[in-house]
Amino acid sequence: MKDRVSLFIFCQSLGWDVMQSLPFMDGLADNRASARPILGSACASLPTVLSGTLPDRHKHFAWFYYSPLSTPFRLFKYFSYLPVLKNSRRLRENLVLAVKRSFGITGRLSIFNMPLKHLPLFDFAEKDNLFKPGGLGKVPTLFDLFLENNVNYFCSSPDRTDVGNADAMGAALQKGEVSAAFWHLSGMEHILTRLGPESVALRARVAWLDLRIRGIYEIASRRYHRVDLAVFSDTGVVPILDVYDLQRRIDDTGSTPYEDYVAIYEPTMARFWFISNRSRPVVRHVLDSLPCGRILSQEDLAAEGCWFDDYRFGEVIFLARPGTVFTPNNIIWELPASAGGYHPDTPGMAAGFVCNIPRLQPPKTVAGIHNLIVENVAELAGVRRNSKPPPGAAGAGEGVYG
């Protein structure tokens, strides 16, 4: 038997409230606590967990940012003139595949519900595969750490389903060739968004996850003397109580979109850039008067590690009131039952953390999960974080990636 393995399981949107309300990891991982999430879109949390840094450092605050000069979507405007296929999801999927091939993009690229005509104004934050070393460029991630510290590891693939990744993780542990394993699940987020935290489908999914993790743990226990297990999330969700057509309200100001201003409407956040100076005070005045949300000040954003001097993610950022969703928006097609993305201190937004190490001090924030894993890996590898692999260690630290 091998000496030890560490299992890290990141379940997107499985918040603290759900972890507490349903049977989950009882008797297996009883050291548990809530963790404060970060501010930003759904794309912001994974880079924070992987790097331990906030959006102002890893540069992933929202999926899209304003950058006409670097956009990979220059030709998209021509497809918007096709009357039948203008809003076709199949067309969008094919365009995404073409862009990924043309520009060598390996990240989780999606154009969601963005207007094809105006996509050439924007760039996409997650161009690189975050599940491999170098995924955040100069900002090191867990996988850079694994490589640096000569740790053989398994990592799930974004190209597989949650079930497929569970099977692959079990197979890797069965061989006993890895010292660490990282499994990222996204399916829970889709259920929570579509059906809400009280749905029968969610209860069934949590029960499936509980059973699957126990099975993986059992496989690892047969091959390793010690199995460290940590299951965590990035955020919780809030049930939707109200909808607001923010786009129509801004259009009614008389300012012309894409002539006076540029905007991206997300379910719980709207971001604005201004082309004409006359539209800036008009839009700000309207946003200040609305009860459905509030403008985030520079101080608000800086306190959450989300302030950008170049305004790449918006000159004005308007955050929805908890329980309110903006519709229509540029990200999702259907009205959700619940949503994340609200202020981190909103009730229901707390992330969850459970582990099987009794004396471990749980992280207080989602960013702190990274430091916990770093300490575990450093102990696992028997070297300090900043040490280099020994000379001649060719192939050491190679990830088992599907």
Which residues, including other chains, have CB under 8 Å from residue 189's CB and lie 6 or more apart?
12, 13, 42
The domain boundary, picked from 72, 97, 124, lies at 124
Average pLDDT of the chain to the nearest whole number: 91
When pLDDT is averaged across residues 77-100 and rounded to a whole number, the result is 80
Residue at token pair 């950022």: 317
Do the domain assignments include residue 331? yes
Residue 116: DSSP 8-state:
G
Q: Are residues 252 and 304 in the same domain?
A: yes
pLDDT at 387 over 80: no
pLDDT in the model for residue 398: 35
Structural domain includes residue 90: yes
51 and 142: one domain? Answer: yes
Q: Which of 70-74, 297-301, 386-390 has the lowest mean pLDDT?
A: 386-390
The model's confidence at residue 348, banded by pLDDT at 50, 70 and 90, is very high
Greatest Cα pair distance, the chain, in angstroms, is 71
Assigned domain for 340 exists? no
> Which residue type occupies 69?
L
Q: Tell me: do 175 and 273 sit in the same domain.
A: no
- 289 with 204, same domain? no
Asked if residue 329 and residue 256 are part of one domain, the reply reads: yes
Percent of the chain beyond pLDDT 70? 93
Q: How confident is the model at residue 11 (pLDDT cuts 50, 70, 90)?
A: very high
State whether 139 and 266 are in the same domain.
no
Confidence label for 382 from pLDDT (cuts 50, 70 and 90): low
Whether 74 and 120 share a structural domain: yes
Asked if residue 393 has pLDDT above 70, the reply is no
User: What is the predicted pLDDT for the residue at 87?
Assistant: 60
Q: Read off the pLDDT of residues 329-341 as tens digits, 9 standing for 90 and up.
A: 999 989 999 999 9
The rounded distance, in Å, linking the Cα atoms of 89 and 94 is 9
State how beta strands 31-35 and 64-66 pair. unpaired
Q: How confident is the model at residue 381 (pLDDT cuts 50, 70, 90)?
A: low
Q: Is residue 178 a part of any domain in this protein?
A: yes
Q: What is the pLDDT of residue 86?
A: 54
Check whether residue 259 and residue 135 sit in a common domain. Answer: no
User: CA-to-CA distance for 271 and 292, rounded, in angstroms?
Assistant: 15
In the predicted structure, residue 102 carries a pLDDT above the cut 90: yes
Task: Flag whether pLDDT at 385 surpasses 60.
Answer: no
Dist. CA 118–CA 74, nearest whole Å: 9
- Listed residue (279, 176, 277, 193) closest to 239, CA to CA: 193
pLDDT in tens, 233-259: 999 999 999 999 999 999 999 999 999
Judged against a pLDDT cut of 70, whether residue 402 lies above it is answered with: no
Task: Say which residues have a Cβ less than 8 Å from residue 22's Cβ, sequence separation at least 6.
Answer: 203, 206, 207
- Assign 3-state DSSP to the chain and report helix, strand, coil percentages, each to 5: 35, 20, 45
84-91, long-range: CB < 8 A, 24+ apart: 86/116
Number of domains in the chain: 3
Same-domain pairing of 198 and 151: yes
- Alpha-carbon distance of 112 to 316, in angstroms, equals 22
386 has a pLDDT exceeding 70 = no
Query: Does residue 374 sit within a domain?
Result: yes
pLDDT confidence of residue 77: 83
Does 341 fall in a domain? no
| Whether the model pTM is above 0.85 | yes
Residue 394's pLDDT is what? 27
pLDDT at position 85 = 54
pLDDT on residue 89: 79
Do 173 and 316 lie in a common domain? Answer: no
Same domain, 233 and 249: no
Q: Is residue 84 predicted with pLDDT exceeding 80?
A: no
CA–CA distance from 59 to each of 37, 138, 264, 329, 330 (Å)?
17, 11, 17, 23, 20
- The mean pLDDT value for 209-217 works out to 98
Cβ-contact 338, 237 below 8 angstroms: yes
Write the burial class of residue 45 (CB in 10 Å: 0-12 exposed, 13-18 middle, 19+ buried).
buried
Query: For the residues 297-302, what does the mean pLDDT come to?
Result: 98
* CATH number assigned to the domain comprising residue 307: 3.30.1360.180
Q: What local confidence, expressed as pLDDT, does residue 397 receive?
A: 37
Range of the domain at 385: 2-56+128-238+346-401
The tokens for 181 are 């394993």
- Has residue 383 got a pLDDT over 80? no
Answer with the residue of higher pLDDT: 268 or 84: 268
Q: Last residue of some domain: 124, 141, 169? A: 124
Q: For 275, phi and psi rounded to 5 degrees?
A: -90, -40
Among 104, 124, 144, residue at a domain's last position: 124
Does any domain span residue 249?
yes
pLDDT, tens digit (0-9, with 9 covering 90-100), for 159-190 = 999 999 999 999 999 999 999 999 999 999 99
CATH of the domain at 22: 3.40.720.10
At a CB cut-off of 8 Å and minimum separation 6, what does 20 contact? 352
C-alpha–C-alpha distance, residues 266 and 122, integer Å = 14
Same domain, 80 and 120: yes
Consecutive H or E run containing 197: none
